[in-house]
Amino acid sequence: MDSAQVDAYLRRIGAQHPAWPTGDVLRELHLRHLRTVPFENLSIHLGETIVLEEERLLDKIVGARRGGFCYELNGAFGALLAALGFDVTLLAGRVYDDEGRLGIPYDHLALRVRTVDGGDWLADVGFGAHSHFPLALRERGEQRDPAGVFRVVEAGADAAGARGGGGSAEFEDLDVMREGRRQYRLEVRPRALGDFRAGAWWHSTSPESHFVRSLVCSRVTEDGGRITLSGSRLTVTTPDGRKEGTELADEKEVLEVYRERFGIELDRAPTVRKTGRRY
């Protein structure tokens, strides 16, 4: 990422060029990203190809002022942080479903970010409703955040009895928890962006993928709440968790909400495509 791209990205999220890659700077960039760049899966339902290459991600998120899902958002944000002098490592995760089962390998992409003031952080701007600020990766106690109480804990064995890390405590798998529920499991070993192509393909094409079966566009609001558009259903969540839903009347209203509330200009409203039988 060159200096012009860095400047354009910072303008996209309304941030000034930081003097030093500290923990406080990371917190500010993290929150600004969540407020301005939506978590969305519209490409899947607009017939757009998702390409996990830095230039393509920047073209979409910065140039076209769109959002994306975890691979795109954290992939692009990680590139920005690295260009600003942060020490960034891509981590692979597997997301827990409602029954506590783990998803596919490379199910999720998150970031390990080390700062010049000694911080070692889990940054994640691509998990939908998640922490507003980075989580301390080595802290095992409760971490309070506007989005709830989080913990990062050693994961233990998976359903097959296997433990991550190959016996090395340095690379032991970690579970990220919110309000006592496991959100996803992290493999604490470095990955490259291209490693996630199979996961992105599966989530973009499989009838089993909730991204294929539904539409979502969501971001954190300036007051710490959240606004979400799912098809024609608009939901506003207040900072204390209260939700107010509205059914939009027609495509014109849907496109207007994408434009005015998410900054996304579309020629047509995306609709969930038919997926055929499930695996």
Residue 70 known to be catalytic: yes
Alpha helices in 136-267 (DSSP H): 197-205, 210-213, 251-262
Give the C-alpha separation, 213 to 260, whole Å: 25
Cβ–Cβ under 8 Å, residues 32 and 222: no
**DSSP SS3 for 188:** strand
The total number of residues shown for the chain amounts to: 279
Q: For residue 189, what is the DSSP state?
A: E
Q: Is 124 a catalytic residue?
A: yes
Catalytic residue among 70, 130, 175, 217: 70
Q: Has 108 been annotated as catalytic?
A: yes
* Cβ partners under 8 Å of residue 50, min gap 6: 43, 44, 68, 71, 72, 200, 204
Catalytic residue, candidates 124, 130, 173, 203 = 124
Catalytic residue among 30, 33, 107, 108: 108
3-state secondary structure 43-106: HHHHCCCCCCCHHHHHHHHHHCCCCECHHHHHHHHHHHHHHCCCEEEEEEEEEECCCCCECCCC
Active-site amino acid positions: 70, 108, 124
